[in-house]
Each structure stands twice: as C-alpha cells, then as structure tokens.
Structure 1
Amino acid sequence: MSLPTTLPEPVIPRLVGGPTLRWGVLAPGFIAGVFASTLHRNTDQRIAAVASRSAERAETFARSHGIDRSYDDYRALVDDPGIDIVYVAAPHTEHLALATLALEAGKHVLVEKPIAASADEARRIAEAARAAGRFAMEAMHTRFHPRMTVIERLLADGALGELRLVQAELGLGNVPVDPTSRLYDPALGGGAALDLGVYPLWFHDFVLGAPTRLDVSGTLAVTGVEDQWNATLHHDDGATGEIAATMRTWTPSHAAIGGAEGRIHLDSRHPQPGGFTVYDVRNQPVSRFDDETGVVGTDGLCRQAAWAAQHIADGLLESPLHPLATSIRVLETVDGVRAGLGAAPIGEDAA
C-alpha cells in the first residue's frame, strides 16, 4: 500500500454554534484557570459557578473569569440546579472523591487528566458514572486535537503497514525540587509518571494498545516520587514502545510512529495542537498536516469541552473517542511504571 500524498480531513467539533452546557469548576487552581480562559475565549460554553474550600479563592477566580456564582463548599456547587457538568481540576488524589460527589448529585463530569491516581480509582469513577447514568470523561485534551483524528484514520487504513515502534517523551524543566509542591508530594500524586508520563503513555496506547510487558528504569526524588524515567513497552506481535518523561530538564517532547511502510513524526510539543509529517520507506517526506484552526498551545483544552457537550447532546455516557476503558488501561501502565521504579505510594508521605 502506497502512502497517501493527500491526507484525510480532520474531524473538528463546533466550538461555536454547537450544543452548550452550563459548567461548574471544582478546585480553581492553575489548570482550571487555563481551562476557563480558553473555554470563554474560543467557545460559547460558559462556566456558571466555581467552588473552592476557600471562599476568597473562589470569589477571586469568579471575578477573573466572569463567573456568576462562587461557593466555599464543593457540595453546594454539585447541588446547584443551574449546573449541567462539573470540571474536576483538583490534585490527582482528589479526583475520585470529587468526581463521585458530582456524579451522585446527578451531574456529568469532565475530570482533569489523569482521571484518577491509579487504575483502581479510575475503575471506581467508571462504576459511579454507570450507576448514576451520567456522562464521564477524562480531560485528555491531546486526543481531541485535529491531528489525532487524521492520524487515527491513517492507522485505521493501514497506511504505515505493520506497526513496529512508537516513541514519545515529555520533559518539563525549571521545576524546583520542593517537597511541599504538588509535583513532588506523593500525598498529592506527584511524580513524572502521573503528571507528565500520562501523555506519552496515552499516545502509545492510542497506537498500539496495552503492552504485555514493560521494562522501566529511572530515578527517584528525595520525596520518593519518580522525577525521571524511561520504559520499553513490549507487545506480543513484536511491536515496542519507547516512552519517557522527566521533571529534571526540558526535552524536545516529540512523538513518532514507525511502520514497515513509513512513519509519522509529530511536531513538538506533542500533547498540544500541531502538525505532523508522513515519511515513506526511504525516509522521504510525502505529506504534511498543519493545524490551520488557529487554536494553539494550551488553548487546545477548549476542544475537549466542545466534544463533551456534543457527546452529551447525542445521549452518550462516554466518549467514543476517549472511552473510560482507555483511561483505565493507561493508568494500569502508569501503575506498572511506578511499581517498577519503587516509587512512593500515591496518597502517602514518603518514608
């Protein structure tokens, strides 16, 4: 099969003019601010209320983002009849409790990635969503960027031939080693696996699915969380994944898929919106995808909200693009990486 010189068109949700929801935000930290800004700037979705344990923090966030109501109690927000869906933006270790709180109150949920601090906790969120009959989705924004829908079609068509290798890594530099910070605190789900590695591990799963075995090496910070690691993920058909994440240095943050008939190389940084190039078996470029929507960088977080609104309007309880089974499967691999490194248990202080 020859590689296509003309690529499929991306599948893009309507950011304006499609179904809309009344959003509530639990835990208005940094990522919640990014989400609120892009949501209001790029879509006609609107955040109607925000809740924090601190009344002052909730009020400040509401003023900054033009939100009508603020609460100093999470229960008050999930009981608000003017809220359709709750965005859970708390630290990883609070995702299970807050998602369950919202679901049991009859609200749909979009839970910041990773959906939970472990695969077991993710399963419990899925069970709570099924019991409540409400929509639940992980906020894995990378899945919803236009280039991923094009790559998905190329893989489904077998454009690269037999898939042999997935490479993906993500690095974050200038992170001070602070035992009290979220990134280094095991009690809050810190470490380079849950916070960063979930992106390249998701990409690996998107292409090859779950590995049958993994080999992992890396280093632990003074708090016991993993601060740098790399893993080889093995599959029964001979395909492998080479995945890495670090909090110790910036990296190119590239991702690539290698097949018998060609390869795809994603532009850096691969979790964000962007383009990719297709190369043939002679390693010559044959086609190029560029994201021409104008939504760049962290503004890409708005698309997951538009997709969630569309899925709910369609009567779905999960996203067919990113079902809960995928979130659970990726966290099973994250659990394996952390266990292989001997990292400090999540939710517990380092010894």
Structure 2
Amino acid sequence: MRLTLGDFERAARTRLDPGIWDFLAGGAGEERTLAANAEAFDRLWLRPRVLRGTTAPPETATTILGRSWDAPLGVAPMGYHTLAHPLGELATVRGTAAAARLPVVISTFAGRTVEELAAVGGGPLWLQVYCLRDRAMTRRLIGRAEDAGFEALVLTVDAPHLGRRLRDLRNGFRLPEGMVPANLEGHDFSSPAAHASTQFAPALDWSVVDWLRSVSALPILLKGILTDDDAARAVESGADGVFVSNHGGRQLDGVPATLDVLPEIVAAVAGRVPVLLDGGVRRGRDVLAALALGADAVLVGRPVLHGLAVDADRGVTDVLNILLAELTDAMGLAGLGDLADIGPETVRRDRP
C-alpha cells in the first residue's frame, strides 16, 4: 500500500532505467538548490487554531484566471512524460482528470500532441513555452494549442540553455531511440542539452511578452521568477501571472528555494496577478505552507512522474489524491475552514 508520495518515489526508482531516473530526478551542479527546495518546507511549522467551530470538510476550491479549480494544486510542466510510461502525457491528463478538476501544464517537449491531450477533457490545459530561435515553430505550436482549447501560455524565462546537470553528463544521457517531442519537427532531439544549446533563443528580453501577445490571445504567465524586481517587471510587462520557480533545481545551482523567496515576490506583485509556486512540494502540508506565505496555487512535478511510472494514469490519480487528502486533513486539524482562513499567521519558521 502506498500512502505517501515518498512511497511512489521509491517504487518508481525500481521501475526506471538508472539513466532515465537520473534525468528525471537530478538537478544542476551539486544539486544544492534541488535539495533546498524540499528542505525549505521542513523549516516551517504549522500554527493550528482550535475551537473554531468548523464542522464540514474544508473547502479547497479556488479560481485562477477565471477558471474554477477543485483545489489550489496543479501539475507542473515537465518534458517527455513518455520516459516514465509509454502513454506519457495522455495518462497524466487522464489521471489528473480522474482525481479532480486541476490544471496540467503541458511542456513544449511533450511526448503527445496537444490535440490528443485536449481531447481527453478534464481540467484546464496550459502550454509551457520555450521560445526557440525558430519563432515560426514556436508560433505554430502556440496556434495549435490555442485551437485545441488550451487556456494559457506559461513562458519559461530561466533557460537560455539547459543547466549543467552532472548526472546526465556522467551518464552520457540520450533519449531512447525514437523518442521525440510530438509537437515539434525537424531537429535532432536525442541530446536535450545539445538541442537546447543550438535551438533555444539565448537573448530573450522583456519584449518577448509583447511578441507572445501579438501571436496569441491567451493569458501569459512567466515561469522562473525568483526576485521581487523581476516579479514587479513581469506585472508591468503585462504578464497575467508569475511562477515562482527555479526549474526544480535543474538550471542555476545555488539559487534559493522557491518557498524562501515567495514572500518577497508576493509583496512585489501585491495581488495584481496570481502567484504560483513549484519546487519541493511533497506533502499536502507543503501546499498549505505555500498558501500561507502568499501563493495562490502550487504545482507539483516529479511526484506526478513517479505515479506515472508506477501505474500509468491510476498512479497519477493516486499521487494527486494523496496530496488532496493531506491538504484537507491539515486544514481541518489546523482549524481552517476554507482557503480564505489561511494566512501568514498559519506558519512559523523557527522551531517551537
């Protein structure tokens, strides 16, 4: 019986080739930032309130960008779900829909087409965008996603090239034969790092937001924001939301945990657009802690791939249901009847 996300992680590791496991699990450099993402949650303690008169299960529904979600939780963008299971993102979207009405952010490097994923239905689908040197290719993908019913664009802004991922370098990692991104064409994708070094646009500036506006009517969120200055600039540039993200510790090693910089970004945004966070979320109480520090929603990444590797769409459903059950359990025991009851007083950083 698997009762925690850690149970799924341990099971997934036994099912995947070691090189693929390292590609999915590893981070950049000495993986200091990768470790910090999870450790930041361990430094927080919850402050429950008692005798609050709450009798019903806590209400977790929220609205982001005008769309109702069953909980402030979603699936973060990750490339090549097909590394974890042949059904790839198709199983991820199905599994998410079976758990709750939650968003899934589909990577530019998905192993399934945007059209077949949109046909599954369920919660909102967003497209994560790497702006390639070939803007026409990027534009075609955005147009296809918009035509298929995707509801937002998530521009990754922290990847002029891929970070120095030592596990992959030591393993000489290459994608399995025949595995390619289903929504792109015409390149050698066998080495993700080599492809990024030649095809990612390294000189992006804030004008890219205007360019995205010129090619799509969809809301635009910027993913990879780690400072208050950039958060404020994102809002001023016209972004409809920001992702506090360090790419799961896979880009610049030594940057802070996302939870640690969340309060300054929330302050800079000042409620003007939604603030979402990813990185290190492994328990429902982690979701609660991020909400207490000001996040509007939290996205989870690697645990979804663990569920996918263990039991396809049913594994994804189980992972998300665990998080949802842990979140409502933590809220109920902390005396929190709904999301509006959660605030900075819900947590403390030092040991009691």
Q: Which has the higher contact order (CA 8 A, sep 6+)?
A: 2
User: TM-score if structure 2 supplies the norm length?
Assistant: 0.31
User: TM-score if structure 1 supplies the norm length?
Assistant: 0.31
Structure having the higher helix fraction is: 2
Structure having the higher strand fraction is: 1
